[in-house]
Amino acid sequence: MSFKSGFVALIGKPNVGKSTLLNTILAKKIAIATPKPQTTRDNIRGILTTKDTQIVFIDTPGIHKPKSKLNKVMVQSAYIAAKEADIILFLIDATKGYAKSDQIIAENIRHIEKPKLLIINKIDKLTTRELIEFLKDINTDEYDEIIPLSALRNKNIDELINTVKSYLHDEIQYYPTDMISDYPEQFMITEIIREKVLINTSQEVPHSIAVVIEKMESKKDLTIINAKIVCERASQKKIIVGKQGSMIKKIGSFAREELEIRLQTRVFLELFVAVEENWRNKDHQLKQFGYGDK
């Protein structure tokens, strides 16, 4: 049997379960996932390699109506991933119905001539009858395959992987067998810190933060990390810091715990918060914080 490989883009609106699906497929946390919309800001590659297959899944930012330059960059990167991939997985949240926002995405990818698989996620929350009714609203002829699944409950994931395999055509192994992601270590660190901020702070804060590594030093059995959490308003800084520094300590504790597992070493993590007004609409700061042209 010949070796097959290819790139697969996961696209859809925010909070449909793209990052959860990637993590479930790889049985490892690659992308941060929270209940808050627009958690994913970058295209993140997760690599599944077997004896005869290598599938490079690309988790993309949720597609939405952009309200800032950062949002615009995120949406553009999602559509670029769809155009450059070999296969498109278009995810829809079964509990939300086939919304107007889903229909806009469907229209925007219609002209892309490559296999498109419609992935109906969160079916564990629907009855069979409800799922049938859900499908009546969708023009299923536009898709090469339709796969209902539950990323959270690991339901029908094997069916998805086997279906994707049937559409692969490349015969190149792009990444080493033991590699499951290609993102740099510092990117992983900033994402873990950002995730802990998203999980532990109020709805006002998440869209307005960025995390930047100011200093990182590795010693024999210790990694020292100095990271800056950037927000846009003094009121947001107050929330992140918390009363007498309680929130920033909590964020740091949770982040350090996960970083020590990932880095397999003790971690000394120092966090501080800075206000950069309206940074999401300033090109030079978008690039400084790792967004914009790449």
Both tokens assigned to 242 = 């918390």
245 Rama class: left (phi>0) / alpha (psi -120 to 50) / beta? left
- Mean pLDDT of the residues in the chain: 94
CATH architecture under which domain 4-165 falls: 3-Layer(aba) Sandwich (3.40)
- Dihedral sign for Cα atoms in the order 79, 123, 101, 209: negative
Domain positions in the chain are 4-165, 185-288
Q: Is pLDDT above 70 for 1?
A: no
d(CA 66, CA 48): 32
Query: What would the pLDDT profile of 136-192 be if each residue is shown by its tens digit?
Result: 889 889 999 999 999 999 999 999 999 999 999 999 999 999 999 998 999 999 999
d(CA 223, CA 203): 32
Q: How confident is the model at residue 263 (pLDDT cuts 50, 70, 90)?
A: very high
User: Residue by residue, what is the 3-state secondary structure of the chain?
Assistant: CCCEEEEEEEECCCCCCHHHHHHHHHCCCCCCCCCCCCCCCCCEEEEEECCCEEEEEEECCCCCCCCCHHHHHHHHHHHHHHHHCCEEEEEEECCCCCCHHHHHHHHHHCCCCCCEEEEEECHHHCCHHHHHHHHCCCCHHHCCEEEECECCCCECHHHHHHHHHCCCCECCCCCCCCCCECCCHHHHHHHHHHHHHHHHCCCCCHHHCEEEEEEEEECCCEEEEEEEEEECCHHHHHHHHCHHHHHHHHHHHHHHHHHHHHHCCEEEEEEEEEECCCHHHCHHHHHHCCCCCC
Both tokens assigned to 111 = 């002209």
Q: Is pLDDT above 70 for 233?
A: yes
Task: Say which CATH topology domain 185-288 has.
Answer: GMP Synthetase; Chain A, domain 3 (3.30.300)
Q: Select the more confidently predicted residue: 35 or 267.
A: 267
Q: Is pLDDT above 70 for 294?
A: no
Both tokens assigned to 136 = 């009546």
The three-point CA angle 131-137-138 to 5° equals: 95
Q: Do domains 4-165 and 185-288 have the same CATH topology?
A: no
List residues bridging with 155 in a β-sheet.
150
The predicted structure's pLDDT at residue 34: 85
Query: What would the pLDDT profile of 49-82 be if each residue is shown by its tens digit?
Result: 999 999 999 999 999 999 999 999 999 999 999 9
d(CA 188, CA 54): 22
